[in-house]
Amino acid sequence: MNPVIRQPDIEAWVWANIRHLPGTTSFCFAQTRRWPGWVVAAHVQVDSRAPRKQAARDAAEEARIVIEGLTGVSWPEGVVSHVIVTEGPQWEPDPDDGHPRYFARYELRAHPRRGVIRAPAMGADDRRPAARDPLPAGRASGKDTVS
């Protein structure tokens, strides 16, 4: 049975670390659990927009440096155990208005902090019933008894 955990909010942790960058936004586009069951993988996209291409690139590069630096960092919900850039940062003008934009995608894996992983508690309704004699009364040996 897999342990029951409260999954760390990796995207919120990423945002807490890059929100100071002007024109930068992030969102999680996929999240999965990895073996051994308490590791969570979040796929996060970061967009960096600015009035000029160079400024957008600089913000995207700063975001990359910050995000890759999260490996091994603990926060109240968990610990980042793995960061990899899966795309970018790369130039792609904003699809809505054509303004300068760089985007990058990352896979971040995290696990809860020590002590928060626990097996589900078993209530009275979850316990197995006591073993019962599979043979009807009077047939304890499995043979018919003679009185």
CATH of the domain at 83: 3.30.2000.10
Please give the pLDDT value at position 115. 62
Please give the pLDDT value at position 68. 97
**pLDDT per position as a tens digit, 38-72:** 789 999 999 999 999 999 999 999 999 999 999 99
Please give the pLDDT value at position 116. 54
Please give the pLDDT value at position 45. 98
Q: Which domain holds residue 23?
A: 10-113
Weakly modelled stretches of the chain, pLDDT under 70: 1-4, 115-147
Does residue 70 sit within a domain? Answer: yes
Q: What are the residues whose beta carbons fall under 8 Å from the beta carbon of 13, sequence distance 6 or more?
A: 70, 75, 77, 78, 80, 110
Please give the pLDDT value at position 95. 85
Does residue 127 sit within a domain? Answer: no
The number of angstroms, rounded, from the C-alpha of 127 to the middle of its chain's C-alpha atoms is: 31
The answer to whether 23 and 62 have CB atoms below 8 angstroms apart is no
Please give the pLDDT value at position 128. 44
Cα–Cα distance for residue pair 98/77, rounded to 1 Å:
38
Does residue 16 sit within a domain? Answer: yes
Does residue 119 sit within a domain? Answer: no
